[in-house]
Amino acid sequence: MMRRPLLAILRAAHCRSTHHYFALDALPLVETPAGKRLRSILLRHHDRYLEGSKDPDTRFHDFHNHVVHVKDGYWGGAPAKATRWYEILQHRLQEQRWADAAHAAGVLSHYFTDPIQPLHTAQSDREKTVHRPLEWSITKSYKSIRQLSLRDPVEIRFELSQQTGWLAAAILHAARIGNQSYNLLLDAYNLEAGVKDPPSGLNAPSRKALAELFTLTTVGWAKILERAASDYEQANQAKLPKLPLTGAVVMATVKIPHRRLLRYLVDRTEQQAVEAILAEYQQTGQVREQTPPEAVAVRRSIAVYHREREYKYRQRAKAAAAQATAKVVPAATSKPVEASPSTTKPITEWTSIQHQPLAPANSHFSSEKMAALKNSQAFQDKQPSSGRSQAATESANRRKEDLEQARLLEIQRRAAMERAERAIEQAEKLRQSELEIQQAKQLQAIQETNENENENEKNYPATIPIRFPSESKHCRLSRRAPIVDAPSIGPKTAARFHAIGIETVGEFLDLPAARTADRLAARWITAQMVSDWQAQTLLMCQVPEMLARDVQLLVGSGCRTQPKLASASVADLHRAIVRFSATSDGRRALRGASPPERTEVARWIARAAGETDGESSQQASAA
Q: pLDDT per residue over 131-151, tens digit each?
A: 999 999 999 999 999 999 998
Residues linked to residue 337 through DSSP beta bridges, in sequence order? 347
CA distance 536 to 515: 18
Judged by DSSP in three states, 69 sits in strand
CA distance 74 to 588: 34
The pLDDT of residue 139 is 97
CA distance 201 to 188: 8
Residue 284 or residue 376, greater confidence? 284
Contact between residue 78 and residue 114 where contact means Cβ atoms under 8 Å apart: yes
Handedness of CA 271, 276, 279, 281 (dihedral sign): negative
Phi, psi of 161 (to 5 degrees): -70, 155
Task: List, for residues 59-84, the tens digit of each pLDDT value.
Answer: 999 999 999 999 998 999 999 999 99
Which DSSP string do the residues of 159-213 spell out, in sequence order? PPPSSTTHHHHHHHHHHHHHHTTHHHHHHH--HHHHHHSGGGGS-HHHHHHHHHH
Q: What does pLDDT average to over the chain?
A: 82
Task: List, for residues 87-142, the tens digit of each pLDDT value.
Answer: 999 999 999 999 999 999 999 999 999 999 999 999 999 999 999 999 999 999 99
560 pLDDT higher than 90: yes
Residue 212 or residue 503, greater confidence? 212
Lowest-pLDDT range of 96-105, 287-296, 392-401, 458-467: 458-467
Q: What is the mean pLDDT of residues 144-165?
A: 89
Handedness of CA 99, 102, 107, 110 (dihedral sign): negative
Judged by DSSP in three states, 389 sits in helix
604 pLDDT higher than 50: yes
167 pLDDT higher than 80: yes
Which DSSP string do the residues of 322-388 spell out, in sequence order? HHHHHHHHHHHTPPPBPPPTT-SS-B--GGGGGGS-SS-TT----HHHHHHHHHHHHHHHHSPPPHH
Contact between residue 245 and residue 2 where contact means Cβ atoms under 8 Å apart: yes
Task: List, for residues 385-427, the tens digit of each pLDDT value.
Answer: 455 567 677 767 776 776 676 666 667 666 666 666 666 566 5
Which DSSP string do the residues of 507-541 spell out, in sequence order? HHHHS-HHHHHHHHT-TT--HHHHHHHHHHHHHHH
Q: How far is CA 305 from CA 74, 85, 411, 608, in A?
A: 12, 24, 16, 46
464 pLDDT higher than 50: no
The pLDDT of residue 441 is 65
Q: What is the CA radius of gyration of the chain?
A: 34
Domain architecture of the chain: domains with CATH: 3-301 (1.10.575.10), 483-622 (no CATH)
Contact between residue 194 and residue 202 where contact means Cβ atoms under 8 Å apart: yes
Residue 355 or residue 561, greater confidence? 561
The pLDDT of residue 12 is 95
CA distance 179 to 118: 5
Q: What is the value of pTM for the model shown?
A: 0.57
Lowest-pLDDT range of 21-30, 117-126, 258-267, 459-468: 459-468
| 466 confidence band (pLDDT: 50, 70, 90) | very low
